[in-house]
Homo-oligomer: A and B are copies of this chain.
């Protein structure tokens, strides 16, 4: 009954098998190896972006910060949702990597930025006394477990581009968003106006593998230098790269995400049937649920692992519950039974 986070799930067997296979003989370091070339090709292929540059790193924070730094000068403003991971959960990494840019948190229901909110934030002139609007960063699946539609991403990216900003997508759970919407990776990213992507693998079955994808290849070299300078150029890169092709192959990554989403849906259905209410719509693999006070104790005694959330009202408790590729129907049902 592990619902703490999808980054607490184990790695898929194929990833481990690929590691074992890659662990033979000497190989040049720092990505100058065949595994890395194949993995980069595989990412470009699923994104239908043959010119994109692909840079593997081990954490989402690194991926986000490197991407933002390549899009934002030190005097830039990065617009994000006020609850975004880059704003709340990265200990100022974007500020560190950009050389001190300012993140502007925008409010928005259910983790999503509304077009008018963005328009209002971009209205007016930016004189020399204030930071300069430089970048919009969106997240889908959002921090609230909700999704942007393709049209919403495209509209927000359009507003940003018109104002001269670049667009980043934090896709730590991109696979879950794709599986939930059925959209193609290309449609949800560069065709919708995304300039740089954090392409997440860790939360969907890999062992600590994310990719920064830069759709304008002219920026690729800068990203390589930023990555090295941040200590994120792995010498034994093959152990990151080798995991990627079997994970992407045949849509395996989307199947894993679809399973996680399905487990969350099963859990949500059961919760609803037992009278829980939801702080946000359940659209992918995350649930924010409220239930009567006293429930936490019962669930945890039964062995459930998850994060408590701020209670929305008196007499209530709340929880964040995340399903992963490894969540089983039996786990879900045991949780519901314990409830």
Contact = CB atoms under 8 A, between A and B. Distances in A.
Interface of A: 2, 4-5, 7-11, 16, 19-20, 23-30, 57-63, 65-66, 73-75, 88-93, 95-103, 128-132, 202, 207-208, 222, 224-226, 228-236, 239-240, 305, 324, 326
Contact of A232 (B5, B16, B99, B231): B231
The 9 closest A-B pairs by CB, nearest first: A2-B26, A62-B231, A95-B100, A7-B235, A61-B231, A91-B228, A99-B99, A91-B229, A10-B23
Nearest to A1: B26
A78 B11 CA distance: 39
Given A65-B231, A231-B93, A305 B75 contact: no
Contact of A129 (B5, B19, B228, B234): B228
How many of these chains are in the complex? 4
A8 B26 contact: yes
Contacts of A30: 128-129
Contact of A8 (B29, B97, B240): B29
A26 B335 CA distance: 15
Nearest to A229: B91
A197 to B, nearest CB: 16
Nearest to A87: B102
A98 to B, nearest CB: 8
Contacts of A27: 8, 10
Contacts of A236: 7-8, 11, 202, 207-208
A303 to B, nearest CB: 11
Contacts of A102: 92, 95, 103
